[in-house]
Amino acid sequence: MGISRWIPRGEGESAPDEVSEAVVEVPGWSELERQVAECTACELHRSRTRTVFGVGDRAARWMIVGEAPGAEEDRRGEPFVGRSGKLLDAMLLALGLARKDVYIANILKCRPPENRDPAPEEALCCAPYLRSQMALLKPGIIVAVGLVAAQRLLDTKLPLARLRGQIHRYGDTGIPLVVTYHPAYLLRAPLQKKKAWQDLLLARSVLTES
């Protein structure tokens, strides 16, 4: 099985202008996790405590993709922990899912300083890892959590309001993708939780109909 991806550059090498079209074999989970742990493709490796590879069921039908690790995630090496993680767990529980029943990953595998948004070149460096995770997982649905994740995965600058409420497809994979609010935003704007629930129901309908 192969996917289009470029090999992350080593330290001192110039970054590629675009993703290569060369088709290579997708590494297995253990090898992919090792590659992420040893990655020096962008400057974020200099300030990270740990890489945040992803967690959950590696045969899950649900894949949750967020933006990037925060301070607590950087310390623990796990995505979506702390208050936002607890809210995400509650959202999944409302669907009858436990955290262990889904697979959770981020656009970036390392924490950006001061929790800033991922830079385009950083997202480009991490893109092959995420795409390999998707190729191994073969999810039935991807849920993009928050504006940054949605825009990166869909290669768009449209606002979240324009991206919600419809079924997208991730790149050339054909995998259905639904956009919803980030739990950190819902903690600040709890009145939007009803809309987030509608997004999750839309995502579940994709699996029900497949």
Instruction: Give the count of beta carbons closer than 10 Å to the beta carbon of residue 168.
Output: 16
Q: Which domains does the chain have, with CATH numbers?
A: 2-209 (3.40.470.10)
Rounded to whole angstroms, what are the CA distances from 113 to 28, 37, 46, 122?
Answer: 30, 18, 10, 12
Dist CA 189 CA 92 (whole Å): 19
Note the pLDDT tens digit of each residue in 16-68: 444 433 445 789 999 999 999 999 999 999 999 999 999 999 999 999 999 99
Nearest to 130 by CA among 85, 81, 63, 77: 63
Task: Note if the pTM is more than 0.95.
Answer: no
